[in-house]
């Protein structure tokens, strides 16, 4: 199977061509990604959903993360990247339903399978108001081990440091047959994909305005 290719860019977001995933991360090329946070309101409370990355992932295995996210393949538009919702969570939505939350740039480095990598991502961030029950989500086994929901106020307070942890309920794939089963978790900020805490706080605060 051919390795996936990404469009790559310079610092000014000028298109430079394409490169394989391996080349992109080995040389630190800027490339584009899609982030989408699922949220819903219940009375006066707002909730946000997040996923648990599979333990077999090459980067940040077993960490909590954005509800759905992924790289744009070479030639793919941000509108087409909404496929990540269907692939990872089984959620069908139109691009027009997404609420733009801004664009961010992130740089990270590390080692994967003994090789150094530099990850430079330009990410368009969206929200989706989603009332689909957690038990009706269809998780992609290769990518997602579970999806959880927490009170938005509590999660923001956790990332700001005024709470040490937050309670979450959700579903996760069972080891026995791979089917989603109900689950409860107590999560901490340090268990999420390492990012500047301001990313989580600023994005989550913007969810208050989603209707």
* 3-state SS class at 55: coil
Half-sphere exposure of 80 (CA within 13 A, CB side): 8
CB atoms within 10 A of CB 75: 10
Helix (H, G, I), strand (E, B) or coil at 34: strand
- In our burial notation (b when 16+ CB lie closer than 10 A, e otherwise), range 11-48 reads eeeeeeebbebeebbeeebbbbbbbbbbbbeeeeebbb
Residue 12 is classified by DSSP as T
Quick check: 66 and 53 in contact, CB under 8 A?
Answer: no
Q: Which CATH architecture has domain 17-209?
A: Alpha-Beta Complex (3.90)
How confident is the model at residue 115, as a pLDDT?
Answer: 79
- Alpha-carbon distance of 70 to 138, in angstroms, equals 17
For 110-139, give the DSSP string. Answer: EEETTEEEEEEEEEEEEEEE----GGG---
Please tell me the predicted confidence (pLDDT) of residue 145. Answer: 96
Start-end of H helices in the chain: 21-27, 83-89, 152-160, 197-206
The Cα angle at residue 71 between residues 68 and 73, in degrees rounded to 5: 130
Contact 70, 34 (CB under 8 A): yes
Which stretches in the chain have pLDDT values below 70? 176-177
Q: What pLDDT score does 111 carry?
A: 78
* pLDDT at residue 176, as a whole number: 61
Q: Are 135 and 182 in contact (CB under 8 A)?
A: yes
- CB atoms < 10 A from the CB of 108, how many? 15
pTM above 0.85, yes or no: yes
């Amino acid at each position: 199977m051919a390795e996936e290719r990404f469009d790559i860019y310079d610092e000014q977001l000028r298109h430079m061509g394409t490169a394989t995933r391996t080349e992109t991360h080995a040389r630190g090329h800027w490339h584009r990604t899609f982030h989408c946070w699922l949220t819903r309101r219940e009375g006066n409370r707002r909730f946000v959903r997040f996923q648990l990355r599979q333990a077999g992932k090459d980067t940040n295995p077993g960490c909590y993360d954005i509800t759905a996210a992924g790289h744009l393949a070479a030639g793919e538009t941000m509108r087409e990247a909404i496929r990540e919702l269907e692939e990872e969570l089984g959620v069908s939505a139109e691009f027009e339903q997404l609420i733009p939350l801004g664009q961010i740039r992130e740089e990270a480095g590390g080692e994967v399978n003994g090789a150094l990598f530099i990850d430079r991502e330009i990410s368009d961030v969206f929200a989706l108001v989603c009332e689909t029950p957690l038990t009706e989500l269809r998780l992609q086994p290769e990518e997602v081990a579970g999806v959880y929901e927490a009170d938005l106020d509590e999660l923001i307070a956790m990332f700001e440091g005024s709470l040490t942890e937050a309670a979450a309920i959700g579903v996760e794939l069972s080891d026995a047959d791979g089917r989603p089963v109900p689950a409860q978790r107590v999560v901490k900020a340090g268990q999420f994909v390492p990012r500047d805490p301001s990313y989580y706080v600023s994005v989550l605060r913007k969810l208050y305005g989603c209707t």
